Amino acid sequence: MTSTDTYTTAAHQARTAVEQSAELWKQSSQSLTEQTDRFWQFPQLDAVSDATRKYFEYLQDGLEVNKNVAVKWVGALTSVVEAWRDQLETVSDFQRGHSQAISTWISSESETFEDAARQQSEQVEQAQREQQEQARQAEREKARAEREQNRRARQEARERYQGLTKAELAEKLAERELPKTGTVDELIDRLVSAESN
C-alpha cells in the first residue's frame, strides 16, 4: 500500500468518524428534546434546578471530548501513519466519550424525574390523607351538633308539657290518637316523640 493510499484511507475513516459523531450528536439532541418535554411537566423547582445543572455538566463533558478530539487530529497531521493510528484512537475515544457523557446525563435525568415523581406522589397521598381526616372530623362535628340540637329540641318540648297534669297530658295524647297510659314522664316523652316525628 502506497503512502497516498494510506492517506486516502485515513481521510475516509476520519470523514466516516465525523459523520458518525454528527449522527450521535443528532440522536442525543433528539433524546434531549424528548427528555426536556417530559421534564417541563413536573412543576418541582428543585428538579428543574438539578436537571439544568446536569444538562450543563453533560454539555461540558461533550465540549471536553470535542476539544480532545480536535487536539489529537491536529497532532495526527504530522505523518500519514501516525495520523492513521491517531484517527482510529480518536474515533474510538470520541464515541466512548460521547456515549459516557450521554449515559451519565440520561441516568442523572432519570433519577431526577423518579425523585420528582416520588415526591409528588407522596405529597398527593399526604394531601388525600389530610382531606380524609378533615372529612371524618367534619362528620363527627356534624353528628355531635345534630345530637345537641335534638337534645335541646326535646328539652324545650318537654318544658312546654312540664306544668300539665296527668289528665291534661292524657287529653293531648287522645287528640293525637296515642296511648294514654303510663307515668307523667312517659306521657310527656310520648308527646315529645310525636312532635319530633
Kindly list the domain boundaries of the chain, sorted by start residue.
3-136, 162-197
Q: Is 42 helix (H, G, I), strand (E, B) or coil?
A: coil
Cell reading at 174: 287522645
pLDDT string in tens for the chain (197-residue length): 666 777 677 667 767 876 777 677 677 767 666 665 565 555 556 666 777 788 778 878 877 877 777 677 667 656 655 666 777 777 778 778 877 877 787 777 778 878 888 999 999 999 999 999 999 999 999 999 999 998 888 888 888 888 889 999 999 999 989 998 889 899 898 988 888 76
Question: What angle (nearest 5°) sits at the alpha carbon of residue 179, between those of residues 177 and 183?
Answer: 140
- Which of these, 86, 82, 48, lies nearest to 70 by C-alpha position? 86
In terms of phi and psi (left: phi > 0; alpha: psi -120 to 50; beta: otherwise), the region of 178 is: beta
Q: Which residue has the cell 491536529?
A: 74
